[in-house]
Amino acid sequence: MYKYDEIDQAIVDERVAQYRDQTRRYLAGELTDEEFRPLRLQNGLYIQRHAPMLRIAVPYGMLSARQLHKLADIAARYDRGYGHFSTRQNLQLNWPKLEDVPDILAELATVQMHAIQTSGNCIRNITTDQFAGIASDEIIDPRAVAEIMRQWSTFHPEFALLPRKFKIAVSGTKQDRAIVQAHDIGLEFYRDDQNKMAIKVWVGGGLGRTPILGSVIREHLEWQHVLTYCEAIIRVYNLHGRRDNAYKARIKILVKALGIDEFRKQVEAEWAYLKDSPNTITEAELQRVAQYFTKMPYDTLPAHDASFDSAIASNPAFAAWVKRSVHAHQQPGYRAVTLSLKPHGRAPGDATSEQMHVVADLAENYSFGELRVSHEQNLILADVKLSDLFSIWEQARAAGLATPNIGLLTDIICCPGGDFCSLANAKSIPIAEAIQQQFDNLDYLHDIGDIELNISGCMNACGHHHIGHIGILGVDKDGSEWYQVTIGGKQGNDASIGTVIGPSFAAEEMPGVVQRLIDVYLQERTEEERFIDTVRRIGVAPFKAHVYAKKEAAHV
């Protein structure tokens, strides 16, 4: 993975000094709350319900074992011994003290980490597929360009105060796992008919209050122009995006208002001036950065491993875990492993300091000292030998990291919600826990099969509920917490936004509602169908009818 040189290190060190002084001025009364707000937000610091929340950047989800050890130590020293991995592949601390944040940043800088632009109205952490570089369906590893874009977007002077937040995702696989269509800019890498690296550019997607899938603004962009083309897009947005109403300030609203053709015309007119300007990426710079993302020094291994095969045959618990948690790899004899941060009855995405140390050790011992965070809020060991899987499983299981539920109903994607977040209308974690308890039977979960359930505590949609096969949104009605349910959302190349099934539910009804949705699926499905396929085939009506029929009957 990318390693800082003295230039990168100087930037994070200077940032620590800058933020330390900003914090000092705020505490001394030299900056008002309103003036300090964008400064702390651009450093990932929210003022929350109980305490500030600090969001630490994990660029495109990649971490070294050393960094994870440090995060574990920071969580133990400055927080309550745990952290929350978010849907943007970042790590959030829920209980740091405002005055400790400069020291936390200084600690992070020692392991080449920071919290720059993890919030605020600026270009945020760039996200990608957690299997980048090893995915069997990969066409182009997008991480080198993602790193070049991370550097370009860091303190980009023209885009420091945009109308609203700005999220970019990159993907280089046949099956999109980075949700490029749900981002302000989505970059889909492919090889063109000259076999050159090219990019299909999506713009104006986003979830939040107004969920919209992006439109293609350019089918073919040569890779070296990606920075200048993004500058053209973001400049048009910076000048013309609405600033008078925060709910209408995202680029998607501008794209919708102008229409994609007019928006494209304006961007292309701007780009005519920017194209080939010095921010055009050189072959040498791409090569320099790409050196950090070369293939790992793999052993040459046979495609099968006898000890692994016999462990599968003799140990059903191990076999069940492998079935859900182990993924195909480009390299023979290697696999990727997902460690579940979704044990039943715990907040999804949370990891304790002890667990972080365990994962860091596993990465060091078995996966070249690196790991990834997925936007589904789990941790990935990307380069593991088949013969090591059994040991990893035993150690992960002992640490509570081997719940065999990856991709199943209880692998819930969930924001921190009303327990922590001051934006939330409703709690999300207790809903996730109640659903996990309702479905606390692994055989039954495996029978239900692949399904994604996403929960957001408010319409800002950090839990990506719109693209959950089942989406749950916390809403506020007259001061009490209710939950609106959508079905039929999906991430991927055939992404879709879910449909609301009807009036919202009270918290205690939610496990029953999900149960009834599952009942309809189990009754209606064909042999091959996943939940989402059945919803797409038969539509929302049968689900709706069953959920609300039962509800009315129960109330009689």
Partner 1 sequence: MSNLILGTSIVEDEWNLVKLPVLGEETVRKQAGKVVLFKLTGEKTYSEEQIAATVIPATGKILVPLSLWIARRAELESRLTAGELAIWLDTHEVLADLVSAFDDINQLPLIAVHVERFADGRIFSIGNLLRTRHGYKNTLRAFGDVLRDQLFFLKRCGFDSYLIRADRSAEDALASLKDFSQPYQGAVDDKQPVWRRVSRQPASQP
CB-CB contact of 215 with 204 (8 Å):
yes
**200 - beta bridge partners?**
188
Out of 110, 291, 307, 441, point to the residue binding partner 1 (CB under 8 A).
291
The answer to the question of residue 312 lying near partner 1 (CB under 8 A) is no
Looking up tokens 């269509």 gives: 181
Out of 159, 166, 366, 393, point to the residue binding partner 1 (CB under 8 A).
159
The answer to the question of residue 285 lying near partner 1 (CB under 8 A) is yes
Q: Which of residues 425-444 bind partner 1 (CB under 8 A)?
A: none
The answer to the question of residue 238 lying near partner 1 (CB under 8 A) is yes
DSSP tag of 123:
B
Sole window of 157-165, 454-462, 487-495, 498-506 interacting with partner 1 (rule: CB under 8 A): 157-165
Distance set, CA 546 to CA 472, 521, 549 (Å): 17, 11, 5
Out of 95, 155, 190, 298, point to the residue binding partner 1 (CB under 8 A).
155
The answer to the question of residue 397 lying near partner 1 (CB under 8 A) is no
Q: E strand or H helix at 127, and its extent?
A: strand 127-128
State the alpha helices, DSSP H only, in 295-454.
Answer: 306-314, 316-325, 353-366, 389-398, 429-438, 442-448
Out of 162, 198, 221, 424, point to the residue binding partner 1 (CB under 8 A).
162
The answer to the question of residue 387 lying near partner 1 (CB under 8 A) is no
Q: What is the DSSP string of 104-117?
A: HHHHHHTTT---TT
The number of residues that bind partner 1 (CB under 8 A) is 46
> What distance separates the 2 farthest-apart alpha carbons in the chain?
72
Smallest gap from Cβ 465 to partner 1, in A, equals 24
**Rounded CA separation 21/111 (Å):** 22
204 to 233: interface string for partner 1, x by CB under 8 A: -----------------------x------
Smallest gap from Cβ 153 to partner 1, in A, equals 8
> Could you give the 3-state DSSP secondary structure of residue 330?
coil
Tokens of 538: 């038969």
Q: Cα angle vertex 503, ends 349, 473, to 5°? A: 15
Sole window of 95-103, 215-223, 237-245, 531-539 interacting with partner 1 (rule: CB under 8 A): 237-245
Report the 10 Å Cβ neighbour count for 76: 17
The answer to the question of residue 10 lying near partner 1 (CB under 8 A) is yes
The answer to the question of residue 269 lying near partner 1 (CB under 8 A) is no
Closer residue to partner 1 in complex, CB, 209/243: 243
Looking up tokens 């539910």 gives: 505
Q: What's the length of the chain?
A: 556
Smallest gap from Cβ 329 to partner 1, in A, equals 23
Closer residue to partner 1 in complex, CB, 95/368: 368
The answer to the question of residue 278 lying near partner 1 (CB under 8 A) is yes
Closer residue to partner 1 in complex, CB, 4/298: 4
**Rounded CA separation 335/388 (Å):** 10
Q: Which of residues 14-33 bind partner 1 (CB under 8 A)?
A: 14-15, 18, 22
The answer to the question of residue 121 lying near partner 1 (CB under 8 A) is yes
CB-CB contact of 100 with 108 (8 Å):
no
The answer to the question of residue 283 lying near partner 1 (CB under 8 A) is no
Q: Amino acid identity, residue 275?
A: K
CB-CB contact of 500 with 513 (8 Å):
no
> Which pairing describes strands 82-85 and 350-352: parallel, antiparallel, or unpaired?
antiparallel
Smallest gap from Cβ 253 to partner 1, in A, equals 12
**Rounded CA separation 497/289 (Å):** 36
Per CB under 8 A, residues contacting partner 1 are 3-5, 7, 10-11, 14-15, 18, 22, 35, 38-39, 121, 151-163, 227, 235, 238-240, 242-245, 273, 277-279, 282, 284-285, 288, 291-292
